[in-house]
Structure 1
């Protein structure tokens, strides 16, 4: 049983790229056919070096059923290698639910997110200037397979596009650029394109996020998030940085309850221009019974997300710190570029462990605290 090789082909490919926000989102649809003689169990996805170093999320699925009964079944995705891949390219294998026999075809849908990919140009602007950014990609998909037909569409925030590379056939309708359809491209074909367009969205980046979670004996879960936030867009130009037509104000917060969730809106003391930074802390409490459960062996476990709740915001470093009062605590770290999560467990907790959906570094430490101080 083999993965897809040179004797297999991609019948059709559609790539939808969304650059309307600071974070680039890509939806990829591949219809692949086994043109070989042996069964195949996986499909390979290739990323050029310019995208590989910015890849934050990659998911794949296959659709089952039709119309209203249509559901998407997730597929396993793992790093892979190929001796034929270009230098710096990164490959991932998508495991199929069942092997494809000779002549069979299937459609795989992938979704991936790229961060820090949009490049502000010019790099410095004044308060009254619009922010322009570069997006670099390929009109054709970098793939280890022969592609019979493919289309690439790029959606920008508005129709204000300064320039774009044309690879015939290329069309533009409003805020959408369309490359293709292209026919019969060989493996690892690459046609670089650059799109220069206006994107005035705030490029919010959390350089460091420290999350502290304390489990109370009194039935509550206390959360404190410490943020170091930066505007990573085009830098503010000029040495005189007073805000134009702005009156300074204290930080305002508004809490809204929408359906089954709460939304917090924060207005800082001053808006952030490119290159500016701000630090702040958000604290809140939650009912413990919604997050603490007991397993069949009598152990208790905390089920809580440690991602960043800010919308359209990138986190550069991810560290999860799970601690126990007067006992051990676990530190989990992942270099997303710095989220530190600290979970303080009740006194008397023993043998702490953590289960997370991605590889992390773990180590144990001891914390001792009193009513007046801790260390």
Structure 2
């Protein structure tokens, strides 16, 4: 083989290697799109961080694009609870929104471990076309208390870490980031020119012509005395009875996830001084369905009477007060139970299949649930259960035995971690049920009473007296 042939083969091999490396390192949408304008608004007024992202995406490639990538740092990806997207059209009050499907991808990680989510467009974006996207994503456990311990009389300060520039796999022509804090007390913040501050709002930008994967770390240190209510574990049991009611029992393990309390607790100071324990909370609001009945609230000691229930045609509100106010690091374990009418939540499909339509998530307002388990206990004799949930959950079935059960009841178990109030959306559990099974328990009770009656009659007719032996 001549020298020229060897050179040609080496050149071809190098070109093929370059193409394979490019294909493996960056997904195809990266080279087809650019972001014309991007605006990010970060709401830090609660311990649940909400980020609203507005993008105008333009196709600058030759081929049409049907997907748009969102990029998140590894820390953000671990704390993501919700990612929603919609295509917007129109201006201001006349805007219309079309929800879009958003899912995590199996693409290789980007620079510095960047994770991707994929937005599926309703129709492909042609060459030179643009689309406006509205994205909402929610982060949990993203506010870091500093100092980590405070006394009863101190306010709570927290750190929030992010980037002044929006992390994106596409070039961004113009962008700006706004951060809203709960109060005007901001101890310090990172300055990335240009940076402006006005009252409770920080503005980073505008920044022009930023390349893909631009990142400029910032830290904001500010006051946040909102209730850092975190439910470490919540087990909700929804028991269906075809005799007219649904019984719901919720077991809570609650913790204040803010700066830990140091020193002794003075109840006199807590009640006499308005600013004492400003970062603590002494009550929580639970939003329950309308027409609830038989509501109770108790802990390991017994029933807690410091609760108030308000009901109307749309919802019921239960204001609960633990036995003691919760400071940072303090925990409380309690149970909430109630009943709701069967006809409000159980329905029958055209094919005879029955289904429960109930709300997923935690009824406590502004609360993060680290681990949520929803157990739907179906009536005895139910067959072919299946659950439809609008977001990914782990599903399994188990069996439960109650009073007078013969074969036991099927339990549909749904598990999800990192749950926020946005997960309080309806879900359905479908199952098949024959009405003949409703007679099982009455027949069993009738049989037991009949056998008991016959035993009593037999006993009364028996003669257990000692007869005298006739002497001869």
CA contact (8 A) 2:49 2:138 kept: yes
Distance 1:371 1:120 in 2: 52
Q: How much has 1:246 moved relative to structure 2?
A: 4.7
Gaps of 5+ in 2: 1-26, 272-281, 284-303, 410-472
Whole-angstrom CA distance in 2 between matches of 1:69 and 1:26: 23
Contact 2:36 2:57 in 1 (8 A): yes
Match of 2:81 among 40, 56, 61: 56
Deviations 1:160-205 (A, max 9, x none): 0000000000000000000000001100000000000000011100
Partner of 2:351 in structure 1? 297
Asked if 1:139 is matched to 2:157, the reply is: no
Deviations 1:24-82 (A, max 9, x none): 00000010111111111111100012211100000000123455543211101121255
Q: State the shift of 1:351 in Å.
A: 2.1
Pairing 1:20-99 to 2, within 5 Å after superposition: 20-66=45-91, 68-83=93-108, 85-99=110-124
* Structure showing the higher helix proportion among its residues: 2
Distance 1:17 1:105 in 2: 25
Give the aligned partner of residue 266 of structure 1. 320
User: Which residue among 209, 223, 243 is the counterpart of 2:267?
Assistant: 243
Q: Contact conserved, 1:6 with 1:146, CA < 8 A, in 2?
A: no
Match of 1:199 among 207, 221, 224: 224
Alpha-carbon offset, residue 137 of structure 1: 0.3
Please give the residue correspondences for 1:253-332 in structure 2 after superposition, counting only pairs within 5 Å: 253-257=307-311, 260-317=314-371
CA distance in 2, matches of 1:83, 1:206: 34
Distance in structure 1 (CA, Å) of the matches to 2:28 and 2:149 = 47
Change beyond 3 A, Cα 1:246–1:127: closer
Partners in 1 of 2:384 and 2:54 — Cα distance? 45
Q: How far did residue 85 of structure 1 move?
A: 1.3
SS in 2 for 1:304: strand
* SS of alignment partner, residue 87 of structure 1: helix
Secondary structure of the structure 2 residue equivalent to 1:4: helix
Match of 1:102? Answer: 127
Change (3 A) 1:258 1:119: farther
1:210/1:83 CA distance change after superposition, 3 Å: closer
How far residue 159 of structure 1 moved from its aligned partner, in angstroms, is 0.3
For 1:58 and 1:7, how far apart are their aligned partners in 2? 23
Give yes or no for contact 1:125–1:234 (8 Å, CA) kept in 2: yes
**1:159 is the counterpart of 2:184:** yes
| 1:251 to partner: Cα distance | 4.7
Alignment of 1:216-235 (within 5 A): 216-235=241-260
Select the structure that is richer in strand.
Answer: 1
Distance 1:369 1:252 in 2: 31
**Residue-by-residue CA offset, 1:114-161 (whole Å, 9 max, x unaligned):** 000100000000000000000000000010111000000000001000
Instruction: Classify 1:366/1:50 alpha carbon distance in 2 versus 1 (closer, same or farther; 3 Å).
Output: closer
Q: In 1, Cα distance between the equivalents of 2:305 and 2:221?
A: 35
Find the aligned partners of 1:251 and 1:243 in 2 and give their Cα distance.
Answer: 20
CA distance in 2, matches of 1:371, 1:132: 56
| 1:371 CA drift (Å) | 5.8
- For residue 342 of structure 1, what is the aligned residue in structure 2? 375
**Aligned match of 2:429:** none
* Contact 1:293–1:300 (CA under 8 A) maintained in structure 2: yes
User: Secondary structure of the residue that 1:307 maps to in structure 2?
Assistant: coil
Question: Which of 51-60 and 68-77 deviates more?
Answer: 68-77
Partner residue in 2 for 1:115: 140
- Give the C-alpha shift of residue 262 in structure 1: 1.3
Which structure carries more relative contact order (alpha carbon 8 Å, separation 6+)?
1
Q: TM-score, normalised by structure 2?
A: 0.71
Q: Is the 8 A contact 2:193 2:204 kept in 1?
A: yes
Rounded Cα–Cα distance in structure 2 between residues aligned with 1:26 and 1:123: 25
Normalising by structure 1, report the TM-score. 0.88
Query: Which deviates more from structure 2 when the two are superposed, residues 60-69 or residues 286-295?
Result: 60-69
User: Judging changes above 3 Å, is the alpha-carbon distance between structure 1 residues 158 and 340 closer, same or farther for their aligned structure 2 residues?
Assistant: same
Structure 1 match to 2:298: none
Q: Provide the C-alpha distance between the structure 2 equivalents of 1:246 and 1:162, rounded to a whole number of angstroms.
A: 26
Classify the secondary structure of the residue corresponding to 2:343.
helix
Please state how far the C-alpha of 1:5 moved relative to its aligned partner: 2.1
* Secondary structure, aligned partner of 2:112: coil
**Matched-pair contact (CA < 8 Å) for 1:149–1:181:** yes
